[in-house]
Amino acid sequence: MVSRLAPIAISEFFNMSTTAASLKALHHLYLRLHDVNLKLEQGPKRIKLKEQFALQQEDKLKAVQEQITQLKKQVQQKNLDLQSNEAKILDLKGKLNSATSNKEFDIIKGQIAADQMANSVLEDEILELMDKIDAKEGEAKSWEEKIKAAHDEAKKAEQEFESVKDALDEEIAECNSAIADAEQIIPADLKVQFERLVRSHGAGALANVAGKFCSACNVMIEPQRRVELNSGRLVFCKSCGRLLYQDEASE
> What are the domain boundaries of the chain?
40-185
Q: Rounded to the nearest 5 degrees, what angle is found at the Cα of 207, between the Cα atoms of 202 and 209?
A: 180
Residue 12 in this model has a pLDDT that exceeds 70: no
Over residues 64-79, mean pLDDT: 97
pLDDT at 183: 95
Least confident of 39-43, 181-185, 214-218, 246-250: 246-250
- As a whole number of angstroms, the distance between CA 45 and CA 63 comes to 27
The CATH number of the structural domain formed by 40-185 is: 1.10.287.1490
- Taking the C-alpha atoms of residue 199 and residue 180, their distance in angstroms, rounded to an integer, is 15
Q: Which is nearest to 21 in space by CA: 246, 204, 251? A: 246
- What is residue 16's predicted lDDT score, i.e. its pLDDT? 52
Confidence class for position 5, pLDDT limits 50, 70, 90: very low
| Residue 44 confidence class, pLDDT cut points 50, 70, 90 | very high
**pLDDT of residue 59 exceeding 90:** yes
Cβ neighbours of residue 119 closer than 8 Å, sequence gap 6 or more: 82, 85, 86, 89
